[in-house]
Amino acid sequence: MTNPIRVGIAGYGNLGRGVEAALSQNPDMQLVGVFSRRDPATVELLDSSVPVYAMAEVEGFQDKVDVMILCGGSKSDLPEQGPYMARFFNTVDSFDTHAKVNEYHAALDAPARESGHLAMLSGGWDPGLFSLNRVYGETILPEGETYTFWGKGLSQGHSDAVRRVPGVQRGVQYTLPSETAIARVRSGEQPELSTREKHTRECYVVLEADADADTVRHSIVTMPDYFADYDTQVHFIDEATFERDHQSMPHGGFVIRSGLTGNNNTQTIEYSLALNSNPEFTASVLVAYARAVHRLAEAGEVGARTVFDIAPGLLSPKDPAQLRKELL
Ligand code: NDP
C-alpha cells in the first residue's frame, strides 16, 4: 500500500470532531494533528493520542501535512483562514455563504496559485452534493425547474432566536419541507412555491417556571425575519424530554428537477439526504474530497476548485479499473 495521505484539521468544533471520526473510517488517510486557536491543553479530541497544536504553529507543518481540512465557521473564520492556509497547504473547506462564493473563490485562488497549492472550497452537502445534483438536473433537463427543500433539520440561527425570547429556558428549531409541496413537485406540475408553501418550522421549548405559554408562542410565531413568513408550530416540553429527544443535529433535504423532454414526457430527478448528524456527514464529504485534492495536487494542479471541477472517481479509494468493474 502507498503511504497514507497525511491530513490536518484546522479548527475543532462540531465539524472538526466529525472529520476526526470520518478519518478513522478511511485507512488510506492519517490524521497528523489538530490545530486550534484555543489553548491546545483545553481541546479534547475523540482520540487522545492525536496531538493538538496551537494554530500559530501551523506554518511549521508544511512538509508534514498533505491536505489541511478547514473546519472553521463560514461567517468569519474561513474568509480569514482559507486564504492564509492556501499559502502553505492544499486545503478543503465547507464554506456555505452562497452569496459570497465567487469572492471567496478569488480570495483562495490567488494565494493557492502563487504558492503552488490546490484549495477546494464549499464541500459538504449544501453547498456540495446538492450543488452537483442541481447541475446534473438543469443540464440534463434544460426545460424544467429545480427545487431544493431542506429538512428535517436543526437550524442553529433559528434555535438561537427562540432562546432569546423571554420565558424560554431551552429551545430548538427544526425546518421541515412541506409534504404537500414535495408531492406537487414530484407530480411534474412545476409549481411556483412561496416561502411559506415550501417549508414549515417547528420549535420545541422548555419554559421558565413563571413563563406564560401563549405569550411565548405569540412572540415566536410573529418574530420578523425568522418566523413571521412561515407556518410555525411551537411545542412545550419538559426538560427530561428535551434532553432525551433534542440533542442530535439532524438535517437533510431534497433536490428535485422536474422537466419535459421530446414528446412532452415528464421526467423527474430526485436526490435526498436524511442525516442524523449534519456535522458528521458534512465531515465525511470533506474527507472524500481531501483524497481527490491530494491526487490532483500530486498531478500538479493548483488554484481554487469546487465540486463542479472534481471528477467523482477521484473521491474513491478504489482505482479506476476497480471502480469500472464494480460500480459502473
Ligand atoms: P463550530 O461553531 O462548532 O466550530 C467553529 C469553530 O469554532 C471551530 O473551528 C473552533 O475553532 C471554534 N470552537 C469550537 N468549539 C469551541 C468552543 N467550545 N469554544 C471556543 N471556540 C470553539 O461550527 P461547526 O463545526 O458546527 O460548523 C463549521 C462550519 O461548517 C459552519 O460555519 C458551516 O458554514 C459549515 N457547514 C457547511 C455545510 C455544508 O454542507 N457545506 C454543512 C454544515 C456546516 P478553534 O478550534 O480554532 O477554536
Of 155, 229, 156, residue with least CA distance to 198: 229
Q: Name the amino acid, one letter, at 10.
A: A
Distance 279 CA to ligand 1 centre (A): 9
The CATH superfamily label for domain 5-124+279-322 reads: NAD(P)-binding Rossmann-like Domain (3.40.50.720)
The x, y and z cell numbers of residue 154, run together, are 436543526
pLDDT of the residue at 64 = 98
Which atom of ligand 1 has the smallest separation from the CA of 37?
Answer: 47
The binding site for NADP(+) consists of 12-15, 36-38, 71-74, 94-96
d(CA 153, CA 170): 17
Q: Buried b / exposed e across 212-239, counting CB within 10 Å, b at 16+?
A: eeeebbebbbebeebbeebebebeebee
Q: If you average pLDDT over residues 146-162, what whole number do you get?
A: 93
Interval 259-279 mean pLDDT: 96
- Please give the Cα distance from 301 to 297 (Å, whole number): 5
pLDDT of residue 1: 60
User: Do the domains spanning 5-124+279-322 and 129-276 agree at the CATH topology level?
Assistant: no
Across 162-188, average pLDDT: 96
Could you report the predicted ipTM of this complex, rounded to two decimals? 0.98
Q: Which atom of ligand 1 is nearest to the CA of 129?
A: 40
Query: Which tens digit of pLDDT belongs to each residue from 81-113?
Result: 999 999 999 999 999 998 999 999 999 999 999
Distance CA 174, CA 153 (A): 5
Domain extents in the chain: 5-124+279-322, 129-276
Is the Cα torsion angle 119, 123, 126, 131 positive or negative in sign? positive
Q: Which of 45, 93, 94 to mutate to test the pocket of ligand 1 (most atoms within 8 A of CB)?
A: 94
What's the gap in Å between 75 CA and the centre of ligand 1?
10
Q: Which fold has domain 129-276?
A: Dihydrodipicolinate Reductase; domain 2 (3.30.360)
For residue 290, the CA-to-ligand 1 centroid distance in Å is: 18
| Residue tagged 456535522 (cell numbers) | 279
